[in-house]
Amino acid sequence: MKNPLYIIEYEYHHKPRSFIIRAEFMNNAEAWHWASCDAGIGIIPRSRHEKVKRVSKPIAERYGLENVKWRPSSNIPFIAQPYVPPPPE
């Protein structure tokens, strides 16, 4: 299967988050980079050919990202957590 789906789960400032991404390949470094992009720390490339600086694990941890885990989406079904809006300030 070309461009399989991966599930990335992580914690950002001790709050669990998860998302699904389609990628050509996945490893721990890629998972940390994409989790940082989802959290707003990293830069999302405009196209797959654009070269952007990858966010490494130590830099992501400095900004509050932790416990990044990834898996192919076919292993365990993805169960989305219900959205709970933050309380008004």
Instruction: Please give the structure tokens belonging to residue 24.
Output: 């050509």
Choice between 43 and 75, residue whose per-residue pLDDT is larger: 43
pLDDT at 83 over 90: no
Domain limits of the chain?
A: 5-72
State the residue for tokens 């721990």.
Answer: 28
**What mean pLDDT is reported for the chain?**
85
Give, in order, the Cα–Cα distances in Å from 11 to each of 2, 3, 19, 60, 85: 29, 25, 12, 11, 17
Report whether pLDDT(87) > 70: yes
Task: Enumerate the H helices of the chain as residue ranges.
Answer: 28-39, 57-62
* pLDDT, position 76: 65
Name the band, by pLDDT with cuts 50, 70 and 90, for residue 89: confident
Contact, 20 vs 5, CB < 8 A? Answer: yes
Q: How far apart are CA 17 and CA 35, in angstroms?
A: 9
Segment (H or E) for 30: helix 28-39
